[in-house]
Amino acid sequence: MPLAERARAVNDRWPAVSHWLTAAETEYLRSGWERALAAAPWPGPAHWVHGDVHPRNLLQVDGRLVGMIDFGDVGAGDPAVDFAVAWLAFDPGQRERFWSIVRSEGSYDDAIRTRANGWAVVLCTAMIADPVTRRNLWPMLEDIRTQLQP
């Protein structure tokens, strides 16, 4: 689904987000969200997407990705939804290497990074706003808080 279809849910989460994050962190998320909503939509054909790529769904051995779990949100659409992992799992240096690889691949539009940041906001706000998810994933959210940089 397009990001705009998630706007109501994200907007409903801002009070919880501002309770758990600093004003600067909340503003970073809000500005990323606003930029993503204004970005051009995915112009290409629908891609298969996992739909819920975050650190708790990535399996690794000795620091290497070996698999993914939780395919409950699998679908077809804008690949930006899976590229949200750039903010959810990578530090700023790793994130830049990731985007360098995406750019060199040559199949993605110029707005893919902006929309991916919007999808990261969708996932972050969902995790923060839900008490069960927040409690179970707080260590991951703490890691994400350290990565809330453009």
Can you tell me the mean pLDDT for 46-66? 86
Q: Which residue has the higher pLDDT, 64 or 99?
A: 99
Strands, E, within the chain: which ranges? 47-49, 58-61, 64-68, 75-77
Burial class (CB in 10 A: 0-12, 13-18, 19+), 3: buried
Cα four-point dihedral sign 118, 35, 13, 46: negative
Burial class (CB in 10 A: 0-12, 13-18, 19+), 35: middle
**Averaged confidence pLDDT in the chain:** 87
* Whether 26 contacts 18, CB under 8 Å: yes
In angstroms, the CA 27 to CA 25 distance is 5
Q: How confident is the model at residue 10 (pLDDT cuts 50, 70, 90)?
A: very high
Strands 75-77 and 58-61: unpaired
Architecture of domain 3-146 in this structure: Alpha-Beta Complex (3.90)
Q: Name the pTM for this structure.
A: 0.86
Domain boundaries, given as residue ranges, for the chain? 3-146
- The pLDDT tens digits for 132-150 are 887 766 666 666 666 555 4
